[in-house]
Amino acid sequence: MIAHPLRIAGDTNIGKVRAANEDTLILDPGLGLYAVLDGMGGANAGDVASQLASDTIREYVQHRALALTPCDLLEQAIIAGSAAVYSAAQIEADRHGMGTTVVACLVVDPSYIVVAHVGDSRAYLLRGGRLQPLTRDHTIVEELAGRGLLTPDEVERHPYKNVLSRNLGSRPDARVDVIEVEVRPGDRLLLCSDGLYGYASADAIQYVLGSGDAPEEVARDLIELALRGGGGDNVSTIVIEVPAAPASSTAAVRTAGAVAWWQHRQRFLEVAAESALARNPIVRGLSAKDAVDLVALSLCQAIYHDLEKSTGVNVWTFAQNLAAGWFERGGDWKPVRAIVDILGDCARAVLDEVRAADSQLGFLLEVAVSRALIVVELALGGLLAERLRQIDDDLVELHSATMDTLEDTLESEEVPEATAPALAPPGELLDNPTAPFERSEGPAPGDEAPPEVVGAIAKILTLARGRVAPRDALTGQILAALQAVVSDSDGNFTMAVLSARGLYGVRSVDPAGVAPLFDAFDQARVVVAACAQQQRAPIAVRVRALRALSTAHQRLASAVTGLVLEAVGPYHDRLREAQATTAELRSAVATAERTRAELERQFATVVDTRLPWGARGTSDW
């Protein structure tokens, strides 16, 4: 129809499942006519229908361009295409029922495009980095939804969601939806069959369309996207790009750093390709080129977009994406550190080049890029701190489980000492918050002690009881309990636990709590130690007696501590519940933050039309 300066490319693919490609493209710059037609019908009738409709539409536009307005021209051309398919289907029995969808656009001038469609082939507009649908599918459920009879959720789950309400060929005429689009410099228009959006998410389509790559590459990459998503249908794409306006000098100065950075990206990628990046476990399984593209190019793009907009959102998102998945798979820190260091080296290589060309710009860019790398560290630090918090939660639970196990062991009479669980190597103090002062099972303190040691123990305790003031009944009770524990010939904790219960007594309802009990423990320890020194027995005997009493003291204190922990168990559970709730809230906040960041990125991303192709779009990866 007119000569126009738009950049346009299209591609089509049979997909991975279908036996034939029934899609047809119209790519006619001379007419300004572009369309995707998705044929349907058995016995290879689908490709016949789409090809026949395509030929008819093209011929109609060619011959009636001067006679009709653009909207009428496109609408009538499509109706003519429908009539042609319908007629053909009536003539040959094996083609009965064939039909095709169509989405077509007529470029009237570089700022005005007419879009028309029938069926479920779609048109999208990418503007400001955001993908907007221009068409609404002509399916039964969409029609019902349009009348308010179905909710979006019901549409998504509806068994007939793919059943078309309109197509070309089912009737001699066709109801065509036509819209006029005022396009702006930097816009991209996408025409596609359902083989694309049925197998690729809108986010992924938006990303590829906004990648800044040339339309030829975008059309091909979109098809690749659908194939990776399963390729269950023929897939066709046409990408139409409206050229960007030339940059103003003011804007060019403002983005000088970003442009300089982007212009040197090749150096960044070269250094990355020569580095150990591709051997990093995070990108294991990827080819060297894919690894560089996935990691280095993504960071390069993220820095560029952040420089352009003076934010850190893209770099933050990059770092989160890089490390979060790796951590979730159980990966450790070293590969993350290695890959970030490599990327830092790549950045320095670029900065050296910029600085060599323009020292002042190089200085400003180096400050900005260093700040971007700080943002990377901040994002990673957030992830590490979160993991640390999760591990702390796990530790609390494990300590609690350890304590439960210990108590079960102590209270189980059926468990012989020899088979009692070994919680630590013999003689080794367990550094375990839920079993403080605990020692492993071993012989009872006084068991098999020579008579002189037993006698010394008795004398020490007698002397100690004499030293305790009559009103200090609690210390006296502890000394009596020590006597029982140290004399316990069974060699297990039973006596210690029984004595502890006697001592603990009413502590849980005592207004003074357990503090006086532990004060008394301390007092008893001091008194016993002092009395041991006053014994006239040989030093070896005194040492053995004191060691036995000390062990008994530890067992008793440990058993009391166990009772205290048992008493606070319910509060501990409540604390854990509160911690779990807090963790959920934190997680919800983190999710909301990520959503906010994503929205901010989407809304903040403006395709800079002054930049060369390949330098535009979003930085998702």
Partner 1 sequence: MARAYEVLRPRILQRLLELRTELDPSLGRLDEATAHAQITAVLDHLGNFIATGDLGLHRGFLHTFLAMRAAEAQSPGAVLAMLVAIGDTAAQVAQEAASGSGEADELTLLLTRVTATTARGVNDLIAEELRERSARRAELARHVREAQR
Residues at the interface with partner 1 (CB under 8 A): 332-333, 337, 363, 366-367, 370-371, 373-374, 377-378, 380-382, 384-389, 391-392, 394-395, 398-399, 401-402, 405-406, 409, 421-423, 432
> At closest approach, how far in Å is the CB of 401 from partner 1?
5
**Tokens read off for 246:** 């030339």
> At closest approach, how far in Å is the CB of 349 from partner 1?
16
Burial 262-277 (b: 16+ CB within 10 A, else e): bbbbebbbebbeebeb
- The H or E element that residue 404 is part of is helix 359-411
> At closest approach, how far in Å is the CB of 337 from partner 1?
7
The answer to whether 614 and 213 have CB atoms below 8 angstroms apart is: yes
Nearest-5° Cα angle at 559, 553 to 561: 100
The residues near 238 (Cβ < 8 Å, ≥ 6 apart) are 8, 9, 10, 25, 27, 34, 35, 36, 190, 191, 192, 219
> At closest approach, how far in Å is the CB of 254 from partner 1?
18
Residue (40 or 406) nearer to partner 1, CB: 406
> At closest approach, how far in Å is the CB of 566 from partner 1?
17
Residue (376 or 549) nearer to partner 1, CB: 376
> At closest approach, how far in Å is the CB of 592 from partner 1?
17
Residue 284, judged by CB atoms within 10 A of its CB (0-12, 13-18, 19+), counts as exposed
How far is residue 10's CA from residue 435's CA, in Å, rounded to a whole number? 71
Give the three-state DSSP class for 31: coil
> At closest approach, how far in Å is the CB of 258 from partner 1?
18
Give the three-state DSSP class for 117: strand
Residue (143 or 386) nearer to partner 1, CB: 386
Which 8-state DSSP code applies to residue 508? Answer: G
> At closest approach, how far in Å is the CB of 278 from partner 1?
23
Nearest-5° Cα angle at 361, 353 to 380: 75
**Tokens read off for 469:** 């003031």
Residue 470: CB atoms within 10 A of its CB come to: 6
The answer to whether 458 and 539 have CB atoms below 8 angstroms apart is: no
Amino acid at 142: E
Residue (250 or 419) nearer to partner 1, CB: 419
- Cα(first)–Cα(last) distance of the chain, in Å? 38
Residue (84 or 403) nearer to partner 1, CB: 403
How far is residue 196's CA from residue 284's CA, in Å, rounded to a whole number? 29
> At closest approach, how far in Å is the CB of 368 from partner 1?
9
Residue (423 or 537) nearer to partner 1, CB: 423
**Tokens read off for 130:** 């955001």
Residue (218 or 383) nearer to partner 1, CB: 383
> At closest approach, how far in Å is the CB of 498 from partner 1?
22
Give the three-state DSSP class for 3: coil
> At closest approach, how far in Å is the CB of 582 from partner 1?
12
Residue (391 or 530) nearer to partner 1, CB: 391
> At closest approach, how far in Å is the CB of 440 from partner 1?
12
C-alpha pair distances (Å), 364 with each of 253, 261, 304, 349: 13, 11, 14, 15
Sign of CA dihedral 366, 367, 368, 374: positive
Residue (14 or 384) nearer to partner 1, CB: 384
The answer to whether 365 and 261 have CB atoms below 8 angstroms apart is: yes
Q: What does R_g of the chain's alpha carbons equal in angstroms?
A: 39
Bridge partners of 35, per DSSP, are 26, 104
Residue (201 or 370) nearer to partner 1, CB: 370
Phi, psi of 163 (to 5 degrees): -80, 120
Residue (332 or 490) nearer to partner 1, CB: 332
Residue (81 or 312) nearer to partner 1, CB: 312
Bridge partners of 161, per DSSP, are none
> At closest approach, how far in Å is the CB of 408 from partner 1?
8
Residue 35, judged by CB atoms within 10 A of its CB (0-12, 13-18, 19+), counts as buried
> At closest approach, how far in Å is the CB of 551 from partner 1?
22
> At closest approach, how far in Å is the CB of 494 from partner 1?
18
How far is residue 547's CA from residue 555's CA, in Å, rounded to a whole number? 12
Residue (289 or 337) nearer to partner 1, CB: 337
How far is residue 425's CA from residue 429's CA, in Å, rounded to a whole number? 8
How far is residue 279's CA from residue 581's CA, in Å, rounded to a whole number? 40
Residue (92 or 392) nearer to partner 1, CB: 392
Q: In which order are the strands placed within the sheet that holds 188-192?
A: 7-13, 235-241, 188-192, 122-127, 130-133
The residues near 575 (Cβ < 8 Å, ≥ 6 apart) are none
Residue (385 or 588) nearer to partner 1, CB: 385
Bridge partners of 188, per DSSP, are 126, 241
